[in-house]
Chains A and B, each alone.
Chain A
């Protein structure tokens, strides 16, 4: 189970995994590479590809933001990585998901069970429904731990559960262990979800809109908790949101998705200072100031996302883009590298035929 490279136990490092152990001086280790991932669903109207050739990387310890309007394929991307696509309707139809060099898309069911919750953990949008309503919090927490540490005694598991609740800032942890999910508020439930995710000290946490269902003040607390936990544990986070404001607070790099494809990918500072895709620019223009209601974020780009069954052959943003020209409708733009300021190592990629012209505006 816990024998992946990067396991925090010194013994595992000493045992020697040369290809990873010998990376001294190299930039932070590559944790996850998503390469040309395509995921499709069988629907009544035939198969639809809802995630189309998506690629990105996450290094150990970094926070990557995945942002885009509702329905653009963020959750499906996350579920593809976790191997949690709803079956039999959904399936990965192309590309690879490399976790520490191992292709999770081709992994056996048993191997995936060893990775899930152990090396890659995930929390969801709805803390109300993500916990089992008829099981005590303590049991659900302990389970997250014992699944990857079989043979753990009852007391040890309980001790670990207490420790975890403490770590995510839940007061009166001892009492909480014996409570049921419905006895907790939404914010507390999301903290419990986070605690479960931390149980086996994962290398990567996928957080799929973890604050969307919560009050604004609770949102801020959860974000702060995630930031603190990341500092403490050194785990990487794939943070999914439709809210660029949240990205600014938390992420070092950002991937912007539109209608199942990547529109732009850059470091967070570069993206905010110098957005190159018309869609990103539209998003940024519509980010509210602190006083505004966060729910209004994305409503200001005119037009609507094309129907998933009738996607255009060219650029998927063309019907809403103020810069669209003939070429945009004929040919889909590929993701291309664009120049970055001196000294910056992070790439800045854009899928737009006219990014130069757009930038000149």
Chain B
């Protein structure tokens, strides 16, 4: 059993190398990189023929100063052979040296690090709220399949699912922050946050979080709730539940004593995916509520061609994705013993 987890953790190393190779390949596309240079040369050559359009291609690349391009070249090792460049870059990445942001002129890691608390706060809160609503709701819906309660809640969760999160965000903002003035218009905390006591701080964060959280959650209930419901219904129809009832167990009790844990397997499988999705956030919602999270940072960096930050985010979210997957596997292993012990069948 322990060996399963050890094996799983050792797998981080090759996965990490694979991920970084991919990201490194992408760096060859950034300004000053060999690919972009080729494109640029091609555009130059074309500009003789069609002078009116060529200016556009050249213009984008020139938004970075020569000094910045040189910095990028040095950081990614464009002047060195690929292997050497990769090895040196990897060495920097593991030391959290992700280069310098062209926009903020500060280390990328510092820029990213500042956003972490906010993203993690929203991520973990959404995660907890999602599971603590969806799992019980899915259970009740499965037991009361096709009743009014089931149909009504389905309508509600699918309504939330069908409307894009940013539309919910704008609607909430207009009504509850703008018209009614119940909640703040934007930000993660108030301006006087530092002067507040611990309780006041917590209340302030919660106060600011209500509307964004609803916007985040509106769409996320449907998938997990329906996953839970369908998974539980499948298991309620399974033969081992019939066995439990044949033993003399009440159906309601068999739901929790037998079907429940089995039905958590797909939920556990999707857990890691949810973690990454949620930590990386949604730039639109962050934009609307003016929350300085990961999603907004990524979007702005992309628009402003702040490539070191984009790459840094790519590396970090890949790592998060990896960690998420491992967490998923551990969760699955906890609910499903077949995973821990392998599926080897003993012979007759």
Contacts and interface: CB of A to CB of B under 8 A. Distances in A.
B245 interface: yes
18 contacts: A84-B245, A84-B246, A116-B247, A118-B248, A124-B243, A132-B243, A133-B240, A133-B337, A144-B247, A147-B249, A180-B341, A182-B337, A182-B343, A183-B346, A184-B346, A185-B346, A196-B247, A200-B248
B348 to A, nearest CB: 4
B345 interface: yes
A338 interface: no
A113 interface: yes
B337 A121 contact: no
A130 B240 contact: yes
Interface in A170-189: 180, 182-188
B238 interface: yes
Interface string B336-348: 1110010101111
A134 B243 contact: no
B242 interface: yes
Contacts of B258: 132, 135
Contacts of A148: 248
B195 interface: no
B250 interface: yes
User: Nearest 3 A-B pairs (CB), nearest first?
Assistant: A117-B248, A117-B247, A132-B240
B239 interface: yes
Interface in A193-218: 193, 196, 199-200, 215, 217-218
B249 A113 contact: yes
Contact of B248 (A130, A134, A147, A218): A147
A188 B164 CA distance: 53
B247 A182 contact: no
B244 interface: yes
B317 interface: no
B262 interface: yes
Contacts of A122: 246
Given A180-B337, A215-B348, A129 B239 contact: yes
Contacts of A305: none
Contact of A131 (B243, B250, B261): B243
Contacts of A109: 250
Nearest to A184: B346
Question: Which has the most chain B C-beta neighbours within 10 Å: A82, A121, A132, A217?
Answer: A132
Question: Which has the most chain B C-beta neighbours within 10 Å: A115, A124, A134, A180?
Answer: A134
Contacts of A199: 247
A215 B343 CA distance: 20
Question: Which has the most chain B C-beta neighbours within 10 Å: A109, A133, A188?
Answer: A133
A356 B42 CA distance: 99
Given A118-B248, A122-B246, A133 B262 contact: yes
Interface string B21-58: 00000000000000000000000000000000000000
B262 A134 contact: yes
A119 to B, nearest CB: 9
A185 B247 contact: no
A33 B239 CA distance: 27
Contacts of A114: 248
B242 A185 contact: no
Contacts of B245: 84, 116
Given A116-B248, A143-B247, A185-B347, A124 B242 contact: yes
A336 interface: no
B93 interface: no
B335 interface: yes
A116 B335 CA distance: 29
A126 interface: yes
